[in-house]
Amino acid sequence: MAHISELEVAPRTVLGKANKRLRKAGIIPAHVFGRGEEPEAIQIDAKTFEQFLRSHAGTNLVTLKLPGHIQTALLRHIQHEPTTGKVLHVDFFRVTMEERVRVKLPLHFVGEAPAVKNEGGVLIHLLDTLEVECRASDLVEHVDVDISSLKEIDDALHARDIVLPEGYTMLTDPDEVVVKVVPSRAELAEEAATAAPAATTTAAPASTLSSTGSAAEA
């Protein structure tokens, strides 16, 4: 069963450029849309939302608590200020618990890769989420990825290797590499040095004078 987080929000009457005043006052403008209903302008206290993100990092499903009613929604998009990373705007998408939704499911890496411990390799995370489809009621905060099968340098886990909960459909390309063990920089430098051909010098042949050359003529 999905874990549903709760978030206190309020209706918003300030729109457009006037939202700058809200942000300066520590309030984040947001919208709730979807399911054929009119988009609803709401606002969230910035400190409350930051705390929510810290304590619910993997949560996509949320109950929005408005005065007089609540809505179940997916946290669809967060717009950040490019320089400071400050949250500028948030979008939520209305859902029912029985409908199938598309989400990016966070990956939680567990275990230890023998190729890192014994072979000196470096673990590279190429994907931190998988795009999946599932019922909203079945949504989990993350899926565990066991990396203990990575025993040799260049061993990798692909999207197809990740075991999803029952009822989930994988939307990410199954051939996408999720995590891989690569050689360390020191190993690469050593291999390059070993593979480099030894420098060789070949003496130029001494020039000879033709019997018909200038010396003979002298």
56 and 32, same structural domain?
Answer: yes
Q: What is the pLDDT of residues 103-131, one digit of tens each?
A: 889 999 999 999 999 989 999 999 999 99
- pLDDT tens per residue, range 26-52: 999 999 998 878 899 999 999 999 988
Domain boundary among 38, 60, 95: 95
State mean pLDDT over 128-155.
93
Q: Is the pLDDT of residue 182 over 80?
A: yes
Average pLDDT over residues 133-154: 93
The amino acid that residue 101 corresponds to is: V
pLDDT at position 154 over 80:
yes
pLDDT band at 14 (very low <50, low <70, confident <90, very high): confident
**Assigned domain for 79 exists:** yes
Q: What is the mean pLDDT of the chain?
A: 85
Same domain, 178 and 151: yes
Is 47 a member of any domain?
yes
Cβ–Cβ < 8 Å for 182, 122: yes
CATH code, 181: 2.170.120.20
pLDDT exceeds 70 at position 156: yes
Tell me the CATH number at 17: 2.40.240.10
pTM score of the predicted model: 0.70
Residue 54, in any domain of the structure = yes
> d(Cα 138, Cα 168) in Å, to the nearest integer?
8
Confidence class of residue 208 from pLDDT cuts 50, 70 and 90?
very low
113 phi-psi bin (left φ>0, alpha ψ -120 to 50, beta other)? beta
Mean pLDDT, to the nearest integer, of 81-98? 92
The answer to whether 142 and 105 are in contact (CB under 8 A) is yes
218: confidence class by pLDDT, cuts 50, 70, 90: very low
pLDDT level of residue 58 (50, 70, 90 thresholds): low
- The reply to whether 191 falls in a domain is no
Higher pLDDT, 60 or 126: 126
Regarding whether 177 and 119 lie in a shared domain, the answer is yes
| Token digits of residue 138 | 């079945």
User: Which residues form the domain of 91?
Assistant: 1-95
Q: Name the CA radius of gyration of the chain, rounded.
A: 30
Q: According to the model, what pLDDT value does residue 57 have?
A: 61
